[in-house]
Structure 1
Amino acid sequence: MKKLDIAKTVQLIIFLILTLVSIDLVLLDPELYHMAGSDTRVRFLCGVLWLVLLLSFAFLLTDFILLSSYKKDYRELNHVVHSDPVAGIANRFSCDALIDRYLDKPLPDHMGCIMFDLTNLRDINRRYGHMQGNILIRDFSNILHLTSLDLCFVGRNGGNKFLALFEDCSQEKLQLFLDRVQQKTDAHNAREGAYPIVYQYGIAFEDGEAAPTITELIALSNQRIYKEEQQDYE
């Protein structure tokens, strides 16, 4: 798509140069200008040439409009493919695409993972309906998205599970992220009439042989969600 943009831009530049040159030849050359004014054949030839230039400009403009439309459709399609329709953040497909980059490879030392469980989602669905449950998912997803900026990748891993994957991890980044999530969750829960967000999480980072691959790292963080005592990274 980028190469096509460049090609069309080059075509437009060449067209404009040719147009300016042709106008200069007619207007700045007195003899040619006189011929165009007195000879019907020359006028006809100039008219045909300028008509061709005008049509060429129209065709190029149409190409740019169509290309812009295609790019917009592509972005929308890409968003649909990679974004969860309820949560509004990366979906399972996007999570798997990131995980695939590390499959069949030793886990880098700087990889960390946090799995979240929106623990009261089933209760909200049962009491108030799935529409309210979807609102809860979207609110929690917004919190994860806002708090993950410049820190990690976040996505909905299906159901009430959410994944935060740190490609350049440290204990400080993990704690900063968790603190941000807690602060924004507390602010959300303090709003009048808001259904509370209740979550648990599990952390896997620097676990050595316990998590030698990316899939085992994620599985380990998922297992730790329900442990009563979570690791402290302060």
Structure 2
Amino acid sequence: MKADFYTKSKRTNIYNSIFIYKVVSLFVLLLITVMLAYIVNKNKEFLSKTGWLIGLVTVSIILFAISFIIDFYILKRTASIGERLNKMAYLDRLTGLPNRYSCDLLFETFNDSDKLENAGFILMKINDLYNVNSKKGHAQGNDLIAEFCYILEDVGESYGYIGRNGGNEFILLMEDCDSNNADMFLMDLTKRLHGYNELGVGSPIEIAYARVLNSDEKVTRISELISKAYKKLKDAPQVLS
């Protein structure tokens, strides 16, 4: 998986902006308070007439320090929550892969003619997932999805962009892809699935897939290439395990 696309949101993270603003503003207020204390301390004649002021300034500094620590803690937690929410918006909760929304954003970037010209798209689904969910429960089905996605991410990250484009739909979108690239990915994925199935640690994984290469299809929109893959998966799926 190409991490840059998914981890850098195109939108401004409002939580981080608030965090930075508050830290800067609190620092400025602290600086002003310290300067005031210094001026008061230097002006002895003024102090002799208004000795109570130094006590007030001291109390203000103490209260300000406590307030600063509390604000810093709250804002740090807020920024952390914002980061988690931002990730949740782009990543699938079960698998950690880019979710449908991320996939849609990715597809948009491939409408550029340079990327689209040699784009390759592989659409995959787990065969027998419905029966696993029905007979063994959704927990077993989720385990099966998670196991496959772990393998898919490990194999696919060196080939292109991967994601979970819905419940039982998994994608690999490649730049500068020819038949050899697609064949190599499918071969590597087959080896990993074969090794997993031989271990017998869970339900065996069998994958139905369809692949389309724009070097063959010559479409002008990425949506057309994706539609062709869905049609092939429905009408003439290929199988690997």
Q: Please, what TM-score do these two structures have when normalized by structure 1?
A: 0.74
Deviation at 1:197, TM superposition (A): 0.8
Identity rate, percent: 25
How far apart are the structure 2 equivalents of 1:162 and 1:137? 10
How far apart are the structure 2 equivalents of 1:101 and 1:229? 28
The 3 A distance-change label for structure 1 pair 190 and 209 is closer
Partner amino acid for 1:112?
Answer: G
Q: Which residue of 1 aligns with 2:215?
A: 207
Assess if the C-alpha contact under 8 Å between 2:90 and 2:101 holds in 1. yes
Partner amino acid for 2:127?
Answer: T
Q: Which residue of 2 aligns with 1:41?
A: 50
The 3 A distance-change label for structure 1 pair 40 and 200 is same
Q: Which residue of 1 aligns with 2:155?
A: 147
- The farther-off stretch of 138-147 and 186-195 is 186-195
Deviations 1:13-56 (A, max 9, x none): 435545665666677x5x84x986xx4832x2112112223333
How far apart are the structure 1 equivalents of 2:187 and 2:25? 53
Partner amino acid for 2:121?
Answer: C
* 1:120 equivalent in alignment to 2:128: yes
Residue from 2, 22, 35 that aligns with 1:8: 22
User: What secondary structure does 1:8 align onto?
Assistant: helix
Q: Which residue of 2 aligns with 1:159?
A: 167
Deviation at 1:122, TM superposition (A): 2.4
How far apart are the structure 2 equivalents of 1:182 and 1:15? 62
Deviation at 1:94, TM superposition (A): 2.3
Q: Which residue of 2 aligns with 1:169?
A: 176
Deviation at 1:119, TM superposition (A): 1.4
User: What secondary structure does 1:89 align onto?
Assistant: coil
Q: Please, what TM-score do these two structures have when normalized by structure 2?
A: 0.73
Q: Which residue of 2 aligns with 1:181?
A: 189
Residue from 143, 146, 157 that aligns with 1:138: 146
How far apart are the structure 1 equivalents of 2:182 and 2:38? 66
How far apart are the structure 2 equivalents of 1:35 and 1:228? 89
Structure 2, gaps ≥5 residues long: 1-13
How far apart are the structure 2 equivalents of 1:159 and 1:152? 21
Partner amino acid for 1:169?
Answer: D
Q: Which residue of 1 aligns with 2:9?
A: none
How far apart are the structure 2 equivalents of 1:157 and 1:68? 33
Which has the greater radius of gyration? Answer: 1
Structure 1, gaps ≥5 residues long: none
* CA RMSD between the two structures: 3.3
How far apart are the structure 2 equivalents of 1:193 and 1:4? 48
How far apart are the structure 1 equivalents of 2:237 and 2:98? 29
How far apart are the structure 1 equivalents of 2:151 and 2:232? 22
